[in-house]
Amino acid sequence: MLAPASTQLKNAFLARTAALLLEKQQEIVEANSADLALAVAAGRNAAFVDRLRLDARAIANLARSVGEIEALPDPVGMITSGSRRPNGLEVRKQRIPIGVIGIIYESRPGVTIDAAALCIKAGNAVVLRGGSEAQRSNRILAELLREALHAAGLPADAVQVPQSQDRAAIDALVSVPGGLDLVIPRGGTALIEAVQRSARVPVIQHYQGVCHLFVHAAADLEKAARVVVNAKAQRPGVCNAVEAILVDAAIAPSAVPKLCAELRAAQVEIRGCERVQALEGAAVVPATDADLGHEYLDLIVLMRVVDGLDGAIAHIRRYGSGHTEGILTEDLGAAQRFIAEVDASCVVVNASTRFNDGGCLGLGAEIGISTSKLHAYGPMGLEALTAEKYVVIGNGQVRT
């Protein structure tokens, strides 16, 4: 446990990491090229190869992101609440490291740096288990992190990268009771379900985002169209992009054509329910059951006409993934009911689902977006990588 590591040592580690990323840029690019070549040879698609790529620009961004984490306040020791009891006891809650955190992730080798930087800044040790497709990139980044720890006078073993690449190694990592203090799986459904199945330690899952936007009868249609297009098309491959647009039947005759026209102008393919098809005809692809609750991660969106707020809430309860859900309305009562009744890590009113992000919500860097309710629901920044203990200071008080 790094509990007693000072802010100064932790920041020295971060500064050294940022510097080493720039110094070793050429070596990192070379190791990454080997991973990329194997991925291309294995016939992986462009999106996959893109997630895997670490070029000079990506490395510079990583170094900048580590510098930003260095600049964030140290969460360890932060007092989050306090009171003085009638008997004079001073009671406070104070942030402490969690302990040893395992991160299991796929593709993006940059996670190796981001996750280690955040975990160490929060006083934790970290076990990083990336995917086999990025093993050469991850290995050199891990060496770099351990070199930076050593240079800062911290134990190099605070970052561990198991070399074994089979699934059994993941099972072994998460199935020892008392081994890890927390495991965070980030990635596809299969990975998360496998971890959930074998875990004997606490799990916070970063599950897929089947995000909805409901265009309510009292929506401002100009605003709604702008938000819908942004939520789908600004960056379609990420978990907070919208995957389904629900349109209130009361305004469908005007709203559906307008929304469809603007989405089409942004190159988005629309899969429409029968009521959307009735309004748009062959201009939309007929939606099937497979489109309900589907995460496209692409320029494709489901559009469905629903009967009012009740219909929208019922749809989201059934098909949402607890990630990000939004309503577009100028009606305060409808917004309030939506906020109260929709269960998601982030409920958004009159804004893009893309704002469910640590940076946008003011947390600074994040390790991902939790769809688990306990401990941290939504973007997980430094504070979510700590726990809180009670501290009680007295002057000889006893209980009577």
| Contact set with a second copy (CB under 8 A) | 1, 3-4, 77, 83, 85, 89, 91, 94, 96, 98-99, 177, 181-182, 196-197, 200, 202-204, 220, 223, 226-227, 229-231, 234, 335, 339-341, 343-352, 354-356, 360-362, 372-375, 377-379, 387-400
Nearest distance from C-beta of residue 239 to a second copy, angstroms: 14
Asked whether 224 and 352 are in contact (CB, 8 A), the reply is no
The token pair that represents 267 in the structure block = 């190159």
Q: How far is the CB of 277 from a second copy (least distance, A)?
A: 28
Closest CB to a second copy among residues 168, 374: 374
Contact 298/241 with Cβ under 8 angstroms? no
Angle 93-12-62 from CA coordinates, rounded to 5°: 95
Minimum distance from CB of 86 to a second copy (Å)?
9
* In the complex, least distance from residue 147 CB atom to a second copy, rounded to whole angstroms: 27
C-alpha 69: how far from chain center: 17
Shortest reach from residue 163's CB to a second copy, in Å: 28
The Cα–Cα gap between 167 and 164 comes to: 9
Q: What distance in Å separates the CA atoms of residue 145 and residue 375, rounded to the nearest whole number?
A: 28
Nearer to a second copy, 204 or 303 (CB): 204
Give the number of other CB atoms < 10 A from CB of residue 177. 8
Query: Toward a second copy, which CB reaches closer, 87 or 132?
Result: 87
Least distance from a second copy to the Cβ atom of residue 90, Å: 9
Taking alpha carbons only, the member of 297, 323, 327 closest to residue 378 is 323
Shortest reach from residue 246's CB to a second copy, in Å = 18
φ/ψ bin of 6: left (φ > 0), alpha (ψ from -120 to 50), beta (otherwise)? beta
Cβ closer to a second copy: 140 or 227?
A: 227
Nearest CB to a second copy, comparing residues 20 and 327: 327
**3 vs 56, which CB is nearer to a second copy?**
3
CB closer to a second copy out of 142 and 344? 344
For the sheet with 125-129, list strands across it. Answer: 159-160, 125-129, 100-104, 182-185
Among residues 181, 151, 143, 161, the alpha carbon closest in space to that of 11 is found at 151
